[in-house]
């Protein structure tokens, strides 16, 4: 039994590591793409005289919030994959996945927050800052909640699937016992 437990833990660790590596690579691409996306937005707004306006601030915040929401979806997909591939899944392992995913999401939120703060410092609309940062924080919290919900849901679906499959498995085992090992 101990051997099975060690194999299961090793396999879960490998799946977690793969999901983390793919998610971390995606995170880095997103963080690297933010400055260029913000500069493109500023170039688009500059001819209209909105390059250093409250409108630009709002659009920078929306760009960053969208990136956070999309990354939350990516994290959910990657870690749901790990849950679906594991031989054995425990609630504590799923909770560790959620903590890991939230740490990655926090890294993107921090990068986005810096970009929004930098945009706020460029524009002379200081009263807009707290509201924009609050909206960004809402997006971050919402993405965290969606990731946690998605992963806990995947665990519940997995558990429910195992329970549903159990009678069929027991029947097959009993059939093999009484048929001399033949299916």
What is the predicted pLDDT for the residue at 48? 74
What is the predicted pLDDT for the residue at 44? 86
CA–CA separation, 7 vs 125, rounded Å? 58
Q: What is the pLDDT of residues 45-104, one digit of tens each?
A: 777 766 566 788 899 999 999 999 999 999 999 999 999 888 888 999 999 999 999 999
- Per the domain annotation, does 131 fall within a domain? yes
Which of 55-59, 68-72, 124-128, 158-162 tops mean pLDDT? 68-72
CA–CA separation, 145 vs 156, rounded Å? 16
Between CA 30 and CA 62, with CA 110 as vertex, the angle to 5 degrees is: 65
- Mean pLDDT, the chain, whole residue set: 83
- Per the domain annotation, does 30 fall within a domain? yes
Task: Give residues with Cβ within 8 angstroms of 30, minimum separation 6.
Answer: 67, 71, 108
Q: What is the pLDDT of residues 62-73, one digit of tens each?
A: 999 999 999 999
Q: How many domains does the chain have?
A: 1
- Per the domain annotation, does 163 fall within a domain? no
Sign of CA dihedral 113, 117, 123, 126: positive
**Residue span of the structural domain in which 113 resides:** 2-155
- Per the domain annotation, does 178 fall within a domain? no
Q: Look up residue 12 and give its two tokens.
A: 């879960």
- Per the domain annotation, does 54 fall within a domain? yes
pLDDT, average across residues 28-35: 96
- Per the domain annotation, does 142 fall within a domain? yes
- Per the domain annotation, does 123 fall within a domain? yes
* φ, ψ dihedrals at 87, nearest 5°: -65, -45
- Per the domain annotation, does 98 fall within a domain? yes
């Amino acid at each position: 039994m101990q051997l099975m437990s060690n194999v299961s833990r090793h396999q879960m660790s490998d799946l977690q590591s793969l999901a983390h590596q793919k998610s971390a690579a995606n995170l880095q691409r997103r963080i690297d793409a933010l400055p260029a996306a913000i500069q493109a937005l500023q170039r688009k707004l500059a001819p209209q005289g909105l390059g250093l306006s409250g409108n630009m601030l709002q659009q920078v915040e929306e760009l960053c919030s969208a990136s956070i929401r999309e990354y939350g979806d990516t994290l959910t997909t990657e870690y749901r994959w790990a849950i679906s591939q594991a031989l054995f899944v425990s609630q504590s392992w799923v909770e560790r996945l959620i903590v890991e995913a939230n740490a990655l999401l926090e890294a993107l939120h921090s990068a986005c927050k810096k970009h929004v703060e930098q945009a706020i410092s460029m524009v002379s609309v200081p009263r807009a800052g707290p509201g924009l940062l609050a909206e960004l924080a809402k997006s971050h919290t919402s993405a965290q909640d969606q990731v946690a919900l998605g992963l806990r849901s995947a665990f519940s679906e997995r558990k429910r699937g195992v329970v549903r499959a159990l009678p069929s498995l027991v029947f097959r085992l009993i059939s093999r016992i009484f048929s001399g090992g033949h299916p």
